[in-house]
Amino acid sequence: MVCREVLVPKKYNKLVRDKIPEIITKKGAVPKTCRLGNKDYIKALIKKLNEELKEFYCANDHCEIVSEAADMMEVVLAMFKSRGVIPENVEAVRLEKLKRRGGFEKRIFLESVYKPK
């Protein structure tokens, strides 16, 4: 009897950085990829941002936290580009909102608002 090793591919089904297929190939594996259309790309970016946010939250040391923050920023910048948003314009609006409404430094949690009759 001849036994053959059956290779079962590991499923990822997620958006990856552009050079990941090349890195996988250099390690001797064979990636199966496809290119997403605009609608699926946006959905994949949202899913990727949630993944990176969870990794940021679970990071333990400063170096890991910074690395995960960089990953989140890369996804956000890709989201901007996909929607034709210029990062400098976002920063200008952010600063204007910061001046007008404040940031989150004081950690204020609004529980409720009572309106007088």
What's the confidence (pLDDT) of residue 2?
Answer: 64
pLDDT class of 23 with cuts at 50, 70, 90 = very high
Task: Please give the Cα distance from 84 to 81 (Å, whole number).
Answer: 5
CB 80 within 8 A of CB 87: yes
65-71 long-range Cβ contacts below 8 angstroms, 24+ apart: none
CB 45 within 8 A of CB 73: no
pLDDT class of 117 with cuts at 50, 70, 90 = confident
CB 33 within 8 A of CB 25: no
Kindly list the domain boundaries of the chain, sorted by start residue.
Answer: 38-101
b/e map 85-108, b = 16+ CB within 10 Å: eeeeeeeeeeeeeeeeeeeeeeee
Report pLDDT digits (tens) over 33-60: 999 999 999 999 999 999 999 999 999 9
For residues 2-26, average pLDDT:
89
Task: Please give the Cα distance from 74 to 91 (Å, whole number).
Answer: 15
For residues 20-43, average pLDDT:
96
Report pLDDT digits (tens) over 67-101: 999 999 999 999 999 999 999 999 999 999 999 99
